[in-house]
């Protein structure tokens, strides 16, 4: 007797193969049978005719490292069919730390109102996650930036050889504790300090353990080719498998940048470098507002930044930065930049900076720096979005078989302690937007291929062997949705709207969503990679 039979749906198994009509039986947290099962007994039979039954979606690039500790339900993700998240991206992870006092400074979206366990090692942090009722499974990468801080604090240097050795030892310990991979964020402090000679030894540690190296490259605008070639060269020297995160070039890159980048990747592949990449399914780019600050302005942590923001001379120097992270700022296209998340300026969320500057009677750039100053200790949770990506670039990437789809967001909820938090413009509806805008409406890829990009492709990249496909004995992570009605409902003014069109979500055999409504079930687990 089975626990559950999902009856009469169209199965899209995650491999890219054509859909087929079949029943799917679940038992003991796994897929138990697929086929015509109308003669079989089950504790529960659910009619899913007219819907598609797919593996649960795997989001291989998020920043939910702390938000899952604050509220493990992961409502924004579960409501759109996500059953597994990969945290610790862009060089940012909650661990390891050298002291408990360092936790707030390294934890993305840290919230001082949350009562949470304390940790030092990466294993301690994973144990803390284990103590939370998780709505999704979680695989954690360890970030270069956090390891760097554990060794060098906020010093304005990349590290001497013996300090790089100390970083490698911390990385090895994190891998022993179950880290699923290693990430860098080379446009962010302190990753912006590091050169290939500092990163190759650490990538070698990941390569020896068979773990993935994921990178937010140094530049994706005017010097895009330098940034991408650096990532390729680092992986080549280290013998590491490379995942280029959110690869689409930004505002300021030439029109041919995406095509040229794919040519570079293809040539490197022909010479044996293992490279894959992913895209955010949107033409809006989201990041920390503080990332607009040049390297020198970020020395000394938040206290140092606040001091400089209060100094008129330092502020003038910040504004004169010739190569800010977003060239759209240098171009002063303030109408295409909106405030997405803030603690002290909630009334301005969704407004563009041309409007914010007008409301405050100041230059928009000063409005940016004023808001950072006002946010104070919450500065690292202050997010903005800009219209910096080209849909044509996203389309071209999606047509490549090795391209995955990611959120680059955080798991949140529109109630509870995280009700005011926002991680990206499409955080509540990234999978829905992909399946709606790029798959159904514009047919950039087929539904079968779209599902593969959300399921078996990331599972294979991450080395997750028991998820990402609907097949006998796979873990029962399932999404059941209506491809004709699935839709994202997020806007800049209303970013906290759940997606629609998802009927059922199953996580490890238990219903996290049923008949379009969230259940009380939180059966996600921490996925530790303890292989070689």
Q: What is the 3-state secondary structure (H, E, C) of 410-476?
A: CCCCCCHHHCCCCCCCCCCCHHHHHHHHHHHHCCCCCHHHHHHHHCHHHHHHHCCCCCCCCCCCCEC
- Using one digit for the tens of pLDDT, what is the confidence trace for 160-200? 999 999 999 999 999 999 999 999 999 998 999 999 999 99
For residues 367 and 244, state if they share a domain: no
For residues 84 and 198, state if they share a domain: yes
474 part of a folded domain:
no
Predicted TM-score (pTM) of the model is 0.95
For residues 133 and 74, state if they share a domain: yes
Intervals of the chain under pLDDT 70: 530-532
For residues 277 and 300, state if they share a domain: no
Q: Name the residue range of residue 70's domain.
A: 57-283+389-463
30 part of a folded domain:
yes
Query: Which of 360, 386, 412 is the last residue in one of the domains?
Result: 386
For residues 307 and 424, state if they share a domain: no
Angle ∠(525,504,21) on CA atoms, nearest 5: 115
Instruction: List the structure tokens of 10.
Output: 């169209």
**Residue 299: per-residue pLDDT:** 83
Query: Which of 323, 357, 386 is the last residue in one of the domains?
Result: 386
Asked if 397 and 279 touch (Cβ cutoff 8 Å), the reply is yes
Q: How many domains does the chain have?
A: 3
Query: Which of 386, 401, 435 is the last residue in one of the domains?
Result: 386
**Cα separations in angstroms, 381 against 158, 394, 410, 417, 494:** 25, 27, 11, 14, 18
Please report, for the domain that includes residue 131, its CATH number.
3.20.20.140
The number of beta carbons lying within 10 Å of the beta carbon of residue 296 is 14
531 part of a folded domain:
no
Please report, for the domain that includes residue 42, its CATH number.
2.30.40.10
48 part of a folded domain:
yes
**Residue 532: per-residue pLDDT:** 56
For residues 49 and 81, state if they share a domain: no
For residues 255 and 307, state if they share a domain: no
146 part of a folded domain:
yes
Please report which helix (H) or strand (E) contains residue 105, including its range: helix 103-106
For residues 184 and 107, state if they share a domain: yes
**Residue 17: per-residue pLDDT:** 98
Closest-CA residue to 428 (of 383, 470, 491) = 491
523 part of a folded domain:
no
226 part of a folded domain:
yes
For residues 35 and 135, state if they share a domain: no
Burial class (CB in 10 A: 0-12, 13-18, 19+), 166: middle
For 514, phi then psi, to 5°, come to -145, 125
Sign of torsion over alpha carbons 105, 109, 114, 118: negative
494 part of a folded domain:
no
For residues 279 and 255, state if they share a domain: yes
**Residue 341: per-residue pLDDT:** 87
For residues 201 and 250, state if they share a domain: yes
């Amino acid at each position: 007797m089975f626990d559950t039979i999902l009856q009469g749906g169209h199965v899209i198994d995650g491999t890219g193969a054509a859909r087929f009509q079949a029943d799917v039986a679940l038992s003991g947290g796994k897929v138990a049978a697929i086929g015509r099962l109308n003669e079989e007994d089950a504790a529960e039979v659910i009619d899913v005719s007219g819907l598609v039954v797919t593996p649960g979606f795997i989001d291989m690039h998020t920043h939910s490292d702390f938000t899952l500790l604050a509220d493990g339900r992961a409502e924004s993700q579960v409501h759109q069919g996500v059953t597994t998240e990969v945290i610790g991206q862009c060089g940012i992870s909650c661990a390891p730390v050298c002291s408990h006092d360092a936790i707030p400074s390294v934890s993305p979206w840290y919230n001082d109102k949350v009562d949470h366990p304390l940790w030092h090692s990466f294993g301690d942090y994973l144990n803390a996650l284990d103590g939370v009722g998780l709505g999704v499974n979680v695989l954690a990468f360890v970030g270069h930036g956090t390891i760097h801080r554990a060794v060098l604090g906020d010093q304005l240097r990349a590290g001497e050889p013996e300090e790089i050795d100390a970083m490698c030892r911390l990385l090895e310990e994190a891998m022993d504790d179950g880290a699923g991979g290693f990430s860098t964020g080379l446009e962010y402090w302190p990753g912006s300090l590091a050169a290939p000679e500092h990163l190759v030894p650490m990538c070698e540690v990941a390569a020896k353990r068979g773990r993935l190296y994921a990178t937010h490259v140094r530049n994706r605008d005017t010097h895009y080719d330098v940034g991408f070639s650096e990532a390729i060269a680092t992986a080549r020297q280290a013998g590491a498998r490379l995942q280029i995160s959110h690869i689409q070039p930004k505002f300021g890159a030439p029109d041919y940048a995406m095509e040229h980048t794919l040519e570079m990747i293809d040539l490197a592949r022909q010479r044996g470098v293992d490279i894959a990449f992913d895209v955010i399914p949107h033409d809006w780019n989201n990041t920390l507002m503080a990332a607009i600050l040049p390297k020198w302005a970020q020395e000394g942590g938040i206290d140092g930044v606040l001091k400089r923001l209060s100094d008129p001379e330092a502020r003038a120097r910040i504004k004169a930065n010739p190569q800010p992270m977003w060239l759209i700022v240098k171009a002063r296209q303030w109408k295409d930049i909106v405030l997405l998340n803030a603690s002290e300026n909630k009334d301005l969320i969704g407004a563009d900076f041309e409007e914010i500057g007008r409301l405050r009677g100041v230059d928009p750039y000063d409005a940016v720096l004023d808001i950072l100053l006002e946010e104070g200790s919450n500065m690292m949770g202050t997010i903005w979005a800009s219209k910096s990506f080209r849909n044509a670039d996203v389309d071209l990437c999606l047509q490549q078989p090795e391209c995955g789809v990611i959120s680059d967001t955080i798991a949140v909820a529109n109630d509870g302690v995280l009700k005011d938090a926002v991680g990206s413009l499409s955080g509540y509806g990234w999978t829905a937007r992909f399946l709606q805008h790029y798959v159904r409406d514009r047919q950039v890829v087929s539904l079968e291929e779209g599902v593969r990009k959300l399921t078996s492709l990331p599972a294979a990249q991450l080395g997750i062997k028991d998820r990402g496909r609907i097949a006998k004995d796979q873990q029962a992570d399932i999404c059941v949705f209506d491809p004709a009605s699935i839709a994202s409902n997020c806007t800049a003014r209303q970013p906290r709207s759940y997606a629609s069109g998802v009927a059922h979500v199953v996580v490890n055999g238990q219903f996290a969503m049923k008949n379009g409504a969230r259940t009380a079930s939180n059966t996600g687990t921490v996925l530790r990679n303890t292989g070689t």
